[in-house]
């Protein structure tokens, strides 16, 4: 056996949303049904270098496949200015659960972006109105691209409103999708008034208010990944049908972490986890629901599920190439 190496381009080319979205749903189902193992994320603090390492191991079993691996991630805020490296980098080791053999080592940064988009798409499929045609995005960074790509795979998106104070980033985003969607720059309120809204910012003071949203907006709150981050006002969270990916992670570092710590939001305000909806234990959107919110922190099982998609796509590509050579 050989260990495959996949760079960011390989990961992107081998992880179509057509395959990724059902893989993310399978990961959520495995977690909800007890068919997954996901130890808590561990940290190595490096104060000398103003950074840290984080390890995220996981195993999950779907109906007809299983996957295991570990993602090794760093966060070094000084990298861009001091070393011309990204602040966050990641590497995924994807292993054969039966033997432990390392099947692949792949770029974990691209993998994270794509599985994050796919996770939002799963939530959108369960929580957004069926005929959603407009999407707003607050934050035009790298995550915004996979948000649009993934959600357009589960809803017939036609109109896109992008909001970001950075002119260059907005222009790049608009240019990228100008031929696919009716896309324009707009305010946060204009983005929030769409059928689906994804927020992908690192803010610690809420920027989306109840009055910004339309009567049925589904919100994917993707930006909060650390204690203190908070994109939606408490009122939005309290009035919405609120769905999370994992209770412990969300109260620690998800969108709900601040109102939870302040005692404003309690467990009674949370509808449940997305896996419980995917298994049918809980209902998703009903005709009675208005605004819905998905609080996503990102789970290690999503990484191994995405790595499975990348590896299987490369395996199929190799098999097809061998068949052509044989013929």
Instruction: For residue 296, give both structure tokens.
Output: 């996503």
Choose, from 71, 172, 229, 281, the residue flagged as catalytic.
71
- The C-alpha atoms of residue 35 and residue 170 are separated, in whole angstroms, by 41
Active site annotation includes 172: no
- H or E element in which residue 63 lies: none
- The C-alpha atoms of residue 90 and residue 294 are separated, in whole angstroms, by 25
Helices (H), the chain: 8-13, 17-32, 79-82, 108-127, 142-151, 167-177, 188-192, 234-239, 247-253, 257-261, 274-278, 300-326
Q: Strand pairing partners for 208? A: 232
DSSP string, 90-141: EEEEEE-TTT--EEEEEEHHHHHHHHHHHHHHHHHHHHS-TT--EEEEE--S
Alpha carbon separation from 34 to 16, 75, 323 (Å, rounded): 27, 31, 39
- Tokens 């980098």, located at residue: 89
Active site (catalytic) residues? 71
């Amino acid at each position: 056996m050989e260990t495959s190496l996949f760079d960011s381009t390989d990961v992107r080319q081998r992880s179509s949303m057509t395959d990724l979205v059902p893989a993310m749903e399978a990961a959520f189902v495995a977690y909800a049904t007890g068919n997954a193992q996901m130890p808590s994320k561990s940290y190595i603090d490096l104060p000398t270098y103003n950074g840290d390492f984080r390890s995220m191991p996981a195993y999950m079993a779907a109906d007809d496949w299983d996957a295991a691996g570990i993602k090794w991630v760093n966060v070094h805020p000084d990298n861009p200015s001091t070393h011309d490296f990204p602040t966050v980098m990641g590497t995924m080791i994807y292993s054969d659960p039966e033997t432990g053999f390392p099947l692949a080592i792949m770029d974990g940064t691209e993998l994270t972006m794509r599985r994050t988009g796919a996770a939002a798409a799963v939530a959108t499929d369960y929580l957004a109105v069926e005929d959603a045609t407009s999407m707003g995005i607050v934050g035009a960074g790298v995550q915004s691209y996979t948000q649009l790509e993934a959600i357009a795979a589960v809803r017939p998106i036609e109109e896109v409103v992008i909001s970001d104070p950075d002119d260059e980033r907005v222009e790049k985003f608009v240019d990228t999708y100008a031929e696919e969607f009716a896309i324009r720059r707009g305010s946060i309120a204009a983005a929030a008034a769409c059928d689906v809204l994804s927020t992908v910012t690192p803010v610690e003071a809420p920027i989306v208010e109840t009055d910004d949203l339309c009567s049925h907006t589904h919100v994917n709150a993707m930006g909060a990944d650390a204690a203190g981050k908070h994109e939606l006002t408490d009122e939005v969270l309290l009035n919405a049908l609120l769905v999370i990916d994992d209770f412990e992670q969300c109260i620690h570092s998800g969108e709900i972490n601040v109102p939870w710590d302040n005692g404003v939001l309690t467990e009674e305000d949370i509808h449940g986890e997305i896996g419980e909806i995917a298994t049918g234990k809980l209902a998703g959107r009903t005709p009675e629901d208005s605004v819905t919110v998905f609080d996503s922190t990102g789970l290690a099982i999503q990484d191994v599920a995405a790595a499975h998609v990348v590896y299987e796509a490369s395996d199929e590509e190799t098999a097809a190439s061998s068949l052509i050579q044989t013929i």
